[in-house]
């Protein structure tokens, strides 16, 4: 099987070999985007965690650089764990990261570039006075990690937040500092949510409710909401909520307590974890990175010699139309990979139909599709699938009156393998309709030892909007964005037949009582150049 080489992605960021996990300290500096990431230099499973480093001019083509930091000091001997970058007003770059010490205590360390005028930031100095923060009283030594990008408060002090837990309550602690070497723990926490367990990789940032641009992490004031995100160690999903930050009390309050961090919205409903944003001061946007791990077996990863992918960076903005969520969208630079395209306009999809879309090979695609439904049929339906839930309602083989309809991707000619990405409408007797956006992996691979979940969640479809989806498809990953990025699902799939020239794409409508009209534009995607920097 040639080491399952067709599973490697062609335009997503991956190391040449071995294990990768969380994105770390992303930043823009002197014309280059920098990505650091958790990396095992020795194997395709987690361990020996090192900060590997890559740079890019455009977030798409990457050059691998030498390691930025290796676990060589007592304060990070068991791993140079996750951290974040802060760019100070005078141009200094501060890197705060977690070290797992020789005694397996999680401490926070400071590092900085040896030469900040080096565009490549090749050499990193670990502050000799490390660690700069120890676990405080009442916090277990193994529940204290992943400092955020720092932000400046009105009192002139910088703040960083660190995730932890007390009992089963997930919390984000706040430390203040003026020099990044000595820190004070604030009384109280930025936020806490009972029942959510350990918070990893906390991210905290402002979004504008009025402007389309992103905001520097320290920005606050009118017309701004703050996003708080935590990666839940207990269930390995990234959750966020919108709320208001009070910089005097250093407290964040969710807009809707029922959609609080860890119990409400997910950043991505698929295989996606440890995400982190940064402010791109060059293009004035906030960019989100996220890690997509493998759902095959560890043995297979070792045989392949590699594990994990980073998703295509996404811009993040507040959704002004709904007011209740963020919108995620692939950075515009990914469109530079678009080659030829095919368009399919107003294809009629009667109940039960599957229509092939002839685009040639279908392993590297960017797809924009929109679906219009028969409004009268929707109105005439009294009740349909009340209580529907993507993850428990059985995938696309479950036919309802008003769903599923959408796309079948990474499918072979006979559809013996396929990954459907689709909408499904449920309607209550009170007349309310609710749309769900799902991705069904249950028939995505003939292989037995791979994850095959059905993912998804509700998505708001507002009056006058079509049902729209954008898919970035790259051999073994499908990133799916509904309604301009209100709900996002990343699928990690391992086709064995729908590979290379044999992969196809179809439109389908498996609803029993709904006619659907579908249009799509499908681009072939070029491969990105991702290789070692010629130093
Ligand atoms: N990965 C890092 C930790 C973090 C976890 C270690 C999240 O710092 O909490 O590799 O995936």
Tokens found for residue 56: 């890019």
Average pLDDT, the chain: 97
Determine the Cα–Cα distance for residues 495 and 410; give it in Å rounded to an integer. Answer: 7
* CB 22 less than 6 A from any atom of ligand 1: yes
Q: CA 193 to CA 144: how far, in whole Å?
A: 16
H/E element holding 318? strand 314-318
Burial class (CB in 10 A: 0-12, 13-18, 19+), 323: exposed
Which band of pLDDT confidence, cut at 50, 70 and 90, is reported for residue 269? very high
Catalytic residue selected from 22, 233, 366, 474: 22
Instruction: Give 397 or 33, the one with higher predicted confidence.
Output: 33
SS3 381: coil
Based on the residue annotation, tell me whether 233 is a catalytic residue of this protein: no
The pLDDT tens digits of the residues spanning 314-344 come to: 999 999 999 999 999 999 999 999 999 999 9
Condensed to tens digits (0 to 9), the pLDDT of residues 131-179 reads 999 999 999 999 999 999 999 999 999 999 999 999 999 999 999 999 9
For 437, the token pair is 């956006």
CB 436 within 8 Å of CB 457: yes
Q: For residue range 182-201, list pLDDT tens digits in order.
A: 999 999 999 999 999 999 99
What integer is the mean pLDDT of 499-519?
97
Ligand 1 and 49: CB distance under 6 A: yes
Which string of DSSP letters, residue by residue, matches 181-243?
Answer: SS-EEPSS-SEEETT--PEEEEEEEEEESS-SS---TT--STTEEEEEEEEETTTTEEEEEEE
2 pLDDT higher than 70: no
Is residue 98 in contact with ligand 1, taking CB distance under 6 Å? yes
Q: What is the mean pLDDT of residues 469-474?
A: 99
Q: Is the pLDDT of residue 270 over 70?
A: yes
Whether 78 lines ligand 1, by a CB cut-off of 6 Å, is no
Quote the pLDDT of residue 534. 87
Evaluate whether 147 touches 131 at the Cβ level (below 8 Å). Answer: no
Cβ contact 496:449 at 8 Å: no
Give the residue carrying structure tokens 């705060």.
Answer: 96
**Residue 276: both structure tokens together:** 């982190």
Percent of the chain with pLDDT over 70: 99
Ligand 1 centroid–CA 236 distance in Å is: 11
pLDDT of 3 > 80? The answer is no
CA dist 206 and 14 (Å) reads: 29
User: 4 pLDDT exceeds 90?
Assistant: no
pLDDT tens digits for 199-215? Answer: 999 999 999 999 999 99
Q: Is the CB of 21 under 6 A from ligand 1?
A: yes
Q: In a mutational test of the pocket of ligand 1, which residue from 24, 25, 50, 81 has the highest number of ligand atoms less than 8 Å from its CB?
A: 81
CA of 82 to the centre of ligand 1 (A): 6
DSSP letters spanning 257-302: GGG-TTTSEES-SSS-EEEEEEEETTTTEEEEEEEE---S-HHHHH
Reported ipTM: 0.99
């Amino acid at each position: 099987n040639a080491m399952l080489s067709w599973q490697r992605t062609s335009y997503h960021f991956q190391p040449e070999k071995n294990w990768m996990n969380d994105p770390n300290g992303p930043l823009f500096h002197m014309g280059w985007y920098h990505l650091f990431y958790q990396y095992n230099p020795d194997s395709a499973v987690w361990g020996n965690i090192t900060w590997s480093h890559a740079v890019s001019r455009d977030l798409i083509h990457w050059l691998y650089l030498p390691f930025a930091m290796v676990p060589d000091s007592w304060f990070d001997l068991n791993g140079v764990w996750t951290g974040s970058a802060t760019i100070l007003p005078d141009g200094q770059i501060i890197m705060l990261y977690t070290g797992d010490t020789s005694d397996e205590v999680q401490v926070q360390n400071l590092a900085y570039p040896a030469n900040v005028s080096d565009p490549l930031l090749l050499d990193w100095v670990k502050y000799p006075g490390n660690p700069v923060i120890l676990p405080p009283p009442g916090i277990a030594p193994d529940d204290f990690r992943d400092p955020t990008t720092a932000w400046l408060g009105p009192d002139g002090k910088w703040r960083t937040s660190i995730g932890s837990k007390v009992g089963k309550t997930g919390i984000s602690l706040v430390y203040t500092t003026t020099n990044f070497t000595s820190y004070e723990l604030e009384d109280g926490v930025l936020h806490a949510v009972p029942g959510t367990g350990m918070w990893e990789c906390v991210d905290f940032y402002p979004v504008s409710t009025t402007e389309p641009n992103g905001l520097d992490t320290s920005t606050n004031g009118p017309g701004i909401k703050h996003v708080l995100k935590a990666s839940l160690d207990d269930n390995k999903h990234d959750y966020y909520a919108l709320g208001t930050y009070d910089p005097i009390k250093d407290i964040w309050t969710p807009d809707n307590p029922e959609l609080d961090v860890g119990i409400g919205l997910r950043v991505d409903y698929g295989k996606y974890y440890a995400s982190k944003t940064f402010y791109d001061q060059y293009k004035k946007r906030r960019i989100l990175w996220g890690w997509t791990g493998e759902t095959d077996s560890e043995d297979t990863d070792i045989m392949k010699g590699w594990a994990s992918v980073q998703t295509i960076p996404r811009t993040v903005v507040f959704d002004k139309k709904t007011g209740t969520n963020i919108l995620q969208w692939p950075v515009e630079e990914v469109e530079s990979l678009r080659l030829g395209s095919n368009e399919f306009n107003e294809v009629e999809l009667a109940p039960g139909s599957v229509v092939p879309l002839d685009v040639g090979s279908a392993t590297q695609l960017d797809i924009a599709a929109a679906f219009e439904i028969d409004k009268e049929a929707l109105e005439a339906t009294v009740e349909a699938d009340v209580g529907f839930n993507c993850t428990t309602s059985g995938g696309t083989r479950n036919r309802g009156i008003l769903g599923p309809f959408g796309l079948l991707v990474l499918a072979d000619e006979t559809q013996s393998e396929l990954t459907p990405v689709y909408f499904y409408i449920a309607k209550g007797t009170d007349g309310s309709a609710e749309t769900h956006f799902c991705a069904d992996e249950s028939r995505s691979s003939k292989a037995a030892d791979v994850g095959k979940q059905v993912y998804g969640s509700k998505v708001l479809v507002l009056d006058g909007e079509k049902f729209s989806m954008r898919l970035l498809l790259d051999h073994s990953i499908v990133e799916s964005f509904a309604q301009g990025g209100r709900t996002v699902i990343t699928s990690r799939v391992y086709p064995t037949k729908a590979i290379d020239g044999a992969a196809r794409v179809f439109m389908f409508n498996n609803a029993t009582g709904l006619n659907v009209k579908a249009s799509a534009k499908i681009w072939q995607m070029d491969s990105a150049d991702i290789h070692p920097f010629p130093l």
